Each structure stands twice: as C-alpha cells, then as structure tokens.
Amino acid sequence: MSASSTTPTAEVQAQIAGLFVYPVKSCAGVALNEAVLTESGLDLDRAWMVVDTQGEFVSQRELPRLALVQVQLKWNEVILRAPGMLSLHLHADRVEAATRARVWDDEVPAYDMGDTAAQWFSDFLGQKLRLVRFDPDHRRLSSPQWTGGIEAPNQFSDGFALLVASQASLEGLNARLAAGGQAPVGMDRFRPNIVLSGLQAHDEDRLGAMQVHADAPVQLLPVKPCTRCSIPDIDPATAVAGTAVGDALQAYRRNNTLDGATTFGMNAIVREGDGAVLRVGQTVTASWAF
C-alpha cells in the first residue's frame, strides 16, 4: 500500500529498494543486496576518512575528485581504484599507528592507515593527505538536540548513523530538472544508506519510528532533515560541479526551521537491531509523525 502525504493512514508501508555504504567518507558508494546493521549504522559505512596534514577531514566540497575513487568490498579487503592509479588494497582489520582526526566539530581517536595509503591519496588528489580509520572503541554521538537525548553513535558520517531517502523524492526532483531542460540525476548524488520505494515524494520527512521486517527486530528513528551542501551538484562520474540540482532544490525544498537550508532525505538513528541483516525487498512500516 502506498502512503499518501495528503490523506495519511494510521500506518505507512514501504520497501527497501536500495542499500548503500560509503566505506571511505566522500568516495563512491557501494550498492549492496544486504548489509549488517550496527548501532552506528550499516557495517563499514564511513569507517575510513581522508584527512589533511592537520588531521582535518576533507570531502568532495574541497576536493571533488574524491567522487572518482571507486570502492569494492571483497572478503576482508577494501579495494580502491581511481583513474590513472593502481588499485589500493586495504585489509579491513588492519591499521597502523594511533592518531587523532577531526570531523566537523568532533576530534576523535583514529588509526592511521600507513604511508602507502597516504601516498596513494596524495598522488591522486595533488596534496599531502592521509587515510585514517575510525576507532571502533570510541563512541561519537549524534547531536542530542536532534535525538531527544538518546545516545546514538555514528562513525565518520556528517552526524547521524543513517540517511534515508525515497525513490519518489528523486523522481520528483528529476521531473523538475526535466521541466527546466536539465538532465536527470541518480540517487548517488545524495549518498543515502537506505532507499525506500512505495512512498510519495518526501514522505520520508514525515515518518515516525520505522520498523524493518528483518530477521530480528529493527527500529530506525528519523530525527533530522538532511540539509544539502554542494555535493549533490558534483557529477559522480566526472567530478565536475554544476548548479542545476541546488537551484532546483532551492525552488521547493527550503526549510525555514533550518535557516532556509535545502533538504533532501532524513537522517536517522538506530534504536534497535544491532547485528540484524537488512536486505533489499524487506518491508518497512512506520507511523506518521506530523
């Protein structure tokens, strides 16, 4: 049953249409048929991050060519490929020296991934960089302003364990782009973890606690609309930046409660289900949260 934002029923039902992880923050994502859920999001999501010589994270905002770094998960390896570069193989369970890294306002313990990884990113992106891994023993918590005081950990994400979006929201954006003579864009522009089908456009904004019908009880709680920066305007295939997506969102997705920022998708936290397996095709039910 499809949800309707104009005549809401007591419960909305949707399906998981896509699952994505982004092992290295701001590099390309990996589409999965199934993913293990942890209290800090999908397993390996934003577990690694590229930093400058001061330990400050870098992203596509400053270095759009990060979008060209393709990631493959293979057994216990994370394999990175980029144009003109030999592949970089990272062992998923090996790190080198302990270090510190900064992501937004949080300075957190991390592990340096060594000189080979540092040189690989430095050569590809043209400045001195290093690759770090999040320390899994550290609990970096999402803002209690949005979680209602719930302790909700995440790793190197921008602030929350999960990003949820719907296919209908993307279709609505692409209809607006087409009306303006612009080419359609893919969901990879918005870097969600969970994509839902069976909703009307932006119904994800209005969902309460989401129950995923998995092999164990799973509850995800949407807590904050995702404000959008310049990254959705970067073509992930070319790393060329434009303005069409941002311009289109400005016309209909400005959020006055967030200082007029444009939003697309909902940040969510994990309330239950650490260790459960999410799969494409699973049913998701939720109440409305108006």
Instruction: Give yes or no for a contact between 204 and 169, defined as CB atoms under 8 angstroms apart.
Output: yes
Question: Residue type for 216, please?
Answer: A
Instruction: Give yes or no for a contact between 196 and 17, defined as CB atoms under 8 angstroms apart.
Output: yes
For the chain, domain boundaries: 11-288
Cα–Cα dist 286/290, whole Å: 12
Alpha helices in the chain (DSSP H): 115-125, 144-147, 167-179, 244-252
Alpha helices in 9-147 (DSSP H): 115-125, 144-147
- The closest alpha carbon to 202, from 176, 237, 241, 235, belongs to 176
Q: Chunk the chain into consecutive blocks of 10 residues (it has 290) and report each block's average pLDDT, rounded to whole numbers.
A: 47 97 98 98 98 98 98 95 98 92 98 97 98 97 97 98 98 98 98 98 97 97 97 98 98 95 98 98 94
pLDDT of residue 1: 39
Instruction: Give yes or no for a contact between 227 and 260, defined as CB atoms under 8 angstroms apart.
Output: no
First and final C-alpha spacing in the chain:
20
Cα–Cα dist 137/131, whole Å: 18
pLDDT of residue 240: 97
Residues 11-288, CATH architecture: Beta Barrel (2.40)
pLDDT of residue 9: 54
pTM: 0.95
- The closest alpha carbon to 273, from 27, 30, 37, belongs to 37
- Please list the residues that pair with 16 across neighbouring strands: 196
